Amino acid sequence: MTAKRSHFYAPRLVAVEAELRKRLKPCRLDGFETLDNIRDRNIAMGDRFERRGIEGKHSQDFWLCGPGWACDDPRTCCAACHYASRIERARLTVRLHPRLKASTSPIYLVSVVRKKWRLPPGELHSCDVAGGLAWFLKRLKSLPKGSVKGVIGVDASLHDQGGHRWWQPRLQAVITGPDKVALQAALTPKAGMTPGWLVKIVEVERSHLGNAISQVLARTSRMHVSDAGDDERAGQRTVPLPSRHLAEHDAWLLDQAVTERFRVVGFRPGPAPLFDEKSIRAPRIRLSERLRGCGRPRK
């Protein structure tokens, strides 16, 4: 049997990883990506960008982060970067978990989908992430001021119903403060639920809170396939995105900073660093050495 190849990682990144794992332990996550997973995904994504000539607002940030090196500040990187997204997801999970868990009110996982948000393949770049988050926050304003605490995130998945495909943006949130009835009323049109408007609210057990927060913050890419019919969720199954749609999804994230897809509500998530890196004694790597062999495309 061939031994699994072990990737080389900068000493600083190894030290950061050990601290990250220690901080995440109380959150009781079912699983968290390994460095090898992240490295392989970033390399594969970079290859797709090169093959298809994809450029985005944050292309330079992505290419400066070579496989195996730690970002100097992941919060300045793009949402497409698996490493930066993972660090930001861990940072917010660590900051928010104890504060939400301490709430005396029930905690809910909220999902909002609207038919009017659908986009045809090739048009995902026009998805208004900031507008979606603003819409959700505006809806929450009908609740008593200061009563809502939590985090909101935006993602998008591809749907295939009998061969007809579209992108479906979705708003997800972990919310505590208001009761379920008030929250449902705030997110539902005044005339009641209308066709093509789905609000799902599920109470989260505190033992599963870490997973719920991580789900809202996750960088996901998937396709939901169902047979033709009125109910698109009937017999629905989830499969990996086809290559060309995956490239479009990655390009959409390449135009966003890693912090753009989330909004924290009700309290500050804390300072930017996940922890004090000064306490991690590992050598700094010169920029010229970081770029050497990092997979940055040659011009």
- Please state whether the predicted TM-score (pTM) of the whole model is above 0.85: no
Q: Does residue 117 lie in a domain region?
A: yes
Q: Does residue 296 lie in a domain region?
A: no
Q: State the first-to-last Cα distance of the chain, in angstroms, to the nearest integer.
A: 40
The residue behind tokens 């698996």 is 82
When divided into structural domains, the chain yields a total of: 1
Q: Does residue 281 lie in a domain region?
A: yes
Other CB atoms within 10 A of residue 194 CB? 10
**Eight-class DSSP state of 3:** P
Q: Does residue 268 lie in a domain region?
A: yes
DSSP string, 213-279: HHHHH-----EEEE-SSS-TTTT-EEEPPPHHHHHHHHHHHHTSBTTTTEEEESS----SSSS-GGG
- How much is the pLDDT for 3? 39
Q: Does residue 297 lie in a domain region?
A: no
pLDDT in tens, 211-258: 999 999 998 888 989 875 555 555 678 999 999 999 999 999 988 888
Angstrom distance (rounded) from CA 57 to CA 64: 14
| Burial class of residue 262 in the structure, from the number of CB atoms within 10 Å of its CB (0-12 exposed, 13-18 middle, 19+ buried) | buried
pLDDT in tens, 175-221: 999 999 999 999 988 765 566 788 999 999 999 999 999 999 998 88
Q: Does residue 211 lie in a domain region?
A: yes
Q: Does residue 298 lie in a domain region?
A: no
Question: 108: closest CA among 193, 195, 181, 217?
Answer: 181
pLDDT in tens, 55-73: 877 666 666 555 444 455 5
Q: Does residue 192 lie in a domain region?
A: yes
| Burial class of residue 183 in the structure, from the number of CB atoms within 10 Å of its CB (0-12 exposed, 13-18 middle, 19+ buried) | buried
- Domain range enclosing 118: 11-291
